[in-house]
Chain A
Amino acid sequence: MRPVFGIAGYVLREAISRKFILAFLVGITLVLAVVAMSLRLDVIDGALAASRLFGNELRSSIQSVDVALRPVYQGAAFIVFYGGILFGIVACSDFAPGLMSPGRIEHLLALPIQRWQLMAGTFLGVMTLALGGTLYGTTGLVVIFGVKAGYWTAGPLIAGLMACVGFAAVYAVMLTTATLVRSAALCAAAGFALLVGGIVAGHRQDISTFFEEGVSRTLFMAVTVMLPRLSALAEAAGHISASTPLEVRSLGTLLLGVFVFGLGALAVGFWRFEGKDY
């Protein structure tokens, strides 16, 4: 596994040296700082009595702080989930094509590293980056609201981790696409397509009613049964973040399923990468 970690470190170092990744981290920090400085929450006996943003009172009801913050946490979970995946698609789309560029891939392949390790390391590096960014953002959010409202919950953090699992499936497909065609744009397109497919797959039961019963509906169900249920995961993340009951039957199984899908996509990538000439 040492080469895998080595490549992951290589990817991470490369990522950190990129200006827009740094800009993203600075952006998150700024957003958190602005929220921390501009938001004022008056809490009386666990009830959110008043809230002010930039000094202006927000018209809201007086209710238990955790209940009052539910929409905030739920919204944050959705932003972290979908926003994070979208940013990840754009920001990480050229990692793998860059790594497989002429002059770099030959050098890497000539090193005592197995090809699958090179891919797995890239995947691990990108996931570490995603995990780091997510933890940074969600922990900041939890701390800000915890300090300001006295309500501490790990919900947004868990939601962020779930978003990372969703992104793992998306990035695995992007990485596999890079082994087929060395193009950042196509990698991003594949990631975006999977995201859309994942949203559809999460709502497959509802959407299937739009198809006529018979071949078309069966085909739709057969295709979507394979896709990662990203929207179901996003909704579950929202529920966890807001501490409301889950709608999925077993979150653990769903998470595992999405992650295993990612591993499956990676295995296809390994197959392709092992047989590719550079």
Chain B
Amino acid sequence: MPAIEVTDLRKTYHRPFRKTGNIALRGMTLTVPRGSAFGLIGPNGAGKTTFIKSILGIVQPSHGTIRVLGGSPEDTAVRARIGYLPERLHLPNAWLPTAFLGTVVQLKGLPPDPAGNLRMLERVGLGDAVTRKIGGYSKGMRQRLGLAAALLGKPDLLILDEPTDGIDPMGRMEVRRILQEEVQRGATLFLNSHLLAETERVCDRVAILADGQVVREGRMEDLVRGDSRWVARFAPGVDAPRLAEAGFVAGGADGVFHVEATDPGALNAALDRARATGALLVELRRDGMDLESVLLGTVRARTGVAA
């Protein structure tokens, strides 16, 4: 049973006294396997936040079905198994972090556990700031506290919207470690982050959302892997025009060429043609892309702009 299963999800925000509404989601279908670390990426206005709010019952879909942890997000029992960190969590400034976590514990229907709350604060790196009021926290510290609140009660599904926003690089590493621990524990992680490198490092599956629809979804390694494109570096003194005739396109650096080969046979044939020109191969690797390239390529392809 998937952690999240969404079928043909549509959402249109209607405004009073207006006939037409603002379409946020246009028939989105997505499945998030249980135990996975799933990343949702997409440009601004793609509908990511609407989607997250829909799977939490904060926004009611106009059409489609949503199943979260096998139930409806309207069901409080289902929501009790979800840990959520909103994008801009508003925290009560005059409170102590322990009081805030205590209240969240109470509202989640968990037994009071002051010691557990303290441990959680230490886990997210706020052990030294327990006695300070939240109003005195930096943005990163607030984010850590929000993460701590989301982690309370060992949820089966963690939905995190920009969890590392405002956190310094060292802190990001810590957060990444925590998230990986949670995934190892068996929790499903659903991550929305504009820091694509973060998503790339943490998630094993990614969906690209654009214009209210999932345009690409799959395992991270499959998405970032260049399927038929290879990079070959030759020793200096190559005959570039002859290499071009052999199917090798000059790259940015000296001696670096790209070649298209859909299978090993085609690749070796291409290399044979290159060696026939007198070129000496010193390095060969698959021409992989980072997530940013994948996103840009996907979105541009969708909008019809040349990559």
**Residue positions of A touching B, CB distance < 8 A:** 2-3, 6-7, 9-10, 13-14, 17-18, 101-114, 275, 277-278
Interface string of B212-223 (1 = CB under 8 A from A): 000000000000
Q: Is the CB of A278 within 8 A of B53?
A: yes
Q: Which residues of B contact A101 (CB under 8 A)?
A: 90
**Residue positions of B touching A, CB distance < 8 A:** 13, 53, 56-60, 76-77, 79-80, 82, 84, 86-90, 92, 94-95, 99, 103-104, 106-109, 149, 159
Pick the contact of A112: B59, B80, B87, B88 (CB < 8 A). B80
Complex Cα spacing A105 to B94, Å: 18
Q: Is the CB of B90 within 8 A of A110?
A: no
Pick the contact of A110: B84, B87, B94 (CB < 8 A). B84
Complex Cα spacing A18 to B95, Å: 11
Complex Cα spacing A9 to B104, Å: 11
Q: Which residues of B contact A10 (CB under 8 A)?
A: 103, 107
4 further contact pairs, Cβ within 8 A, besides A111-B79, A275-B60 = A13-B99, A103-B87, A106-B58, A108-B107
Q: Is the CB of A17 within 8 A of B95?
A: yes
Assess A17 versus B94: contact at CB under 8 Å? Given A10-B107, A109-B57.
yes
Number of A-B contacts (CB under 8 A): 77
Complex Cα spacing A14 to B108, Å: 18
Complex Cα spacing A277 to B86, Å: 15
Q: Which residues of B contact A277 (CB under 8 A)?
A: 13, 53, 58-60
Q: Is the CB of A109 within 8 A of B89?
A: no
Q: Is the CB of A9 within 8 A of B86?
A: no
Pick the contact of B84: A9, A14, A104, A107 (CB < 8 A). A107
Q: Is the CB of B76 within 8 A of A113?
A: yes
Q: Which residue of A has the minimal Cβ distance to B92?
A: A14
Q: Is the CB of B109 within 8 A of A9?
A: no
Complex Cα spacing A118 to B168, Å: 35
B73 to chain A, nearest CB (A): 9
Pick the contact of B82: A3, A17, A110 (CB < 8 A). A110
Q: Is the CB of B59 within 8 A of A278?
A: yes
A96 to chain B, nearest CB (A): 14
Q: Is the CB of B58 within 8 A of A13?
A: no
Complex Cα spacing A7 to B86, Å: 19
A187 to chain B, nearest CB (A): 18
Q: Is the CB of A113 within 8 A of B88?
A: no
30 sample A-B contacts, Cβ–Cβ < 8 Å, listed by A number: A3-B109, A6-B103, A13-B92, A13-B99, A13-B103, A14-B92, A14-B94, A17-B92, A17-B95, A18-B94, A102-B90, A103-B89, A106-B56, A107-B89, A108-B107, A109-B58, A110-B159, A111-B108, A112-B77, A112-B79, A112-B107, A112-B108, A114-B76, A275-B60, A277-B13, A277-B53, A277-B58, A277-B59, A278-B53, A278-B59
